[in-house]
Amino acid sequence: DIVMTQSPSSLAVSTGETVTINCKSSQSLLYSGNQKNYLAWYQQKPGQSPELLIYWASTRQSGVPDRFIGSGSGTDFTLTISSVQAEDLAIYYCQQYYDSYTFGAGTKLDLK
**Residues touching other proteins, count (CB under 8 A):** 23
Beta bridge partners of 37: 30
User: Cα(109)–Cα(19) distance, rounded to whole angstroms?
Assistant: 9
Handedness of CA 81, 42, 64, 13 (dihedral sign): negative
Residue among 61 and 78 whose Cβ is closer to other proteins = 61
User: Cα(57)–Cα(73) distance, rounded to whole angstroms?
Assistant: 7
The region of 10-18, 20-28, 35-43, 70-78 touching other proteins under the rule CB under 8 A is 35-43
Residue among 50 and 74 whose Cβ is closer to other proteins = 50
Q: Indicate whether 92 belongs to the interface with other proteins (CB under 8 A).
A: no
User: Cα(58)–Cα(107) distance, rounded to whole angstroms?
Assistant: 18
Residues of this chain that interact with other proteins (CB under 8 A) are 1, 38, 40, 42, 44, 49-52, 55, 61, 91, 93, 95, 97-98, 100-106
